[in-house]
């Protein structure tokens, strides 16, 4: 079996195509590996930067917390209770007439334990006469 020039050329072209496809696959694999390595380096650098910033944030938060504890240790709370004493109540509602003001004053005297002298007004006189 003798191979002709055409068959030899065809076999050479086929070998070149196979070698080209193999080279392309090899180059693609190497390129992908290089790209993954570059991405890993970038991710590692970003993670290192993130950790550095997180350490700075943690140190700042710890410093702020210790400053807050020392500030709170120096705080004193002072409570004062005062009683409100009203000498003369002032009624500002104009809807209450003089008899109503008298009734309110008498109710305030009774609530404060003051001795109330006699009945005031005509209604008390009528009630006393009806009770007899």
Give the per-residue pLDDT at 128. 44
Is the pTM for the entire model greater than 0.85? no
Residue pLDDT, tens place only, 32-60: 999 999 999 999 999 999 999 999 999 99
Residue pLDDT, tens place only, 113-127: 877 776 555 454 444
CA-based torsion, 118, 120, 126, 131: positive or negative: negative
Domain boundaries of the chain, sorted by first residue: 1-70, 85-117
More confident residue, 106 or 128: 106
């Amino acid at each position: 079996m003798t191979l002709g020039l055409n068959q030899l050329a065809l076999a050479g072209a086929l070998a070149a195509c196979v070698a080209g496809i193999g080279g392309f696959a090899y180059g693609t694999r190497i390129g992908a590996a290089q790209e993954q390595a570059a991405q890993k380096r970038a991710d590692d650098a970003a993670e290192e930067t993130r950790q550095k910033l997180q350490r700075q944030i943690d140190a700042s938060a710890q410093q702020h917390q210790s400053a807050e504890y020392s500030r709170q240790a120096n705080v004193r709370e002072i409570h004062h209770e005062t009683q409100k004493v009203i000498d003369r109540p002032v009624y500002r509602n104009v809807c209450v007439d003089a008899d109503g003001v008298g009734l309110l004053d008498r109710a305030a005297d009774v609530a404060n334990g003051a001795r109330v002298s006699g009945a005031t007004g005509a209604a008390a006189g009528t009630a006393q006469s009806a009770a007899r």
